[in-house]
Amino acid sequence: MKKNKFNKAWLDQHRNDPYVKLAQKHGYRARAAFKLLEIDEEEHLIRPGIQVVDLGSTPGAWSQVLRERLAGAPGGGIFGRIVALDLLPMEPIADVEFIQGDFREDAVLSQLESLIGENKLDLVVSDMAPNLSGVEIADAARMADLIEMALQFSIDHLKPNGVLLVKCFHGSGYSQLVERFKQVFVQVKPRKPKASRDKSAETYLLGRGLKFVKPAH
């Protein structure tokens, strides 16, 4: 009975959520689109010609925003390149190259790396989150592992002035993550877009400009 009450409360909140309604109105697959839109308005991350990887892309709302912002090439294409990756399947989006697989697996990471080749990236965005157990310390550790992988991927593949934007949780281990970002990036900013629910511990960390650049092989 309690579970049904919880589900009903969540459904009511979801139906009445202004960002859910806006997402439906604008054809976005999830309200998360507005988190990226808001951060981009402030930070100017998405501009024509960029190479970007979208980690944890399903259902595709962030890839939709990326595509929208890069659209306008002759013949209806995009200026730039978008590669998306997720553990779950994603309905196709025009001009978005999608890989289904687990980012934590070497074979999947190799597939992603071979797809982007020698091209250095301007932007890596990650809305990845682990399946949450409700045990804060365990969930924070899983989240930190995903973020560390996104960080390592960015060190290997970002341009010197590139940007990494990741989802994280403001709680156990958060200050250590900020410190880790500061080791890697020249500029580090926390971002809590209005589209993130107030009650949610979710926040975003943005790192811009690598402090050290890996020499070419």
pLDDT value of residue 1 = 46
Q: Which two tokens stand for residue 13?
A: 């909140």
Alpha carbons 103 and 101: distance in angstroms, whole number: 6
Instruction: Give which of 196, 190, 205, 102 is closest to 154, Cα–Cα.
Output: 205
2 is a catalytic site residue: no
Cis link prior to 89 (omega < 30° from 0)? Answer: no
Alpha carbons 210 and 160: distance in angstroms, whole number: 5
pLDDT value of residue 41 = 96
Mean pLDDT in consecutive groups of 10 residues from the start of the chain, 217 residues:
54 69 88 96 97 98 97 92 97 98 95 95 95 85 94 97 95 91 97 86 95 69
| Residue 179 neighbours by CB distance under 10 Å | 10
pLDDT value of residue 133 = 86
pLDDT value of residue 200 = 81
Sign of torsion over alpha carbons 194, 56, 145, 199: positive
CA distances from 32 to 62, 125, 197, 214 (A): 7, 13, 10, 33
pLDDT value of residue 216 = 56
pLDDT value of residue 10 = 44
Instruction: Give which of 161, 194, 188 is closest to 175, Cα–Cα.
Output: 188
pTM confidence score? 0.90
SS3 content of the chain, % helix, strand, coil (to 5): 40, 25, 35
Catalytic annotation, pick one of 167, 192, 211, 214: 167
Q: Which two tokens stand for residue 140?
A: 């924070």
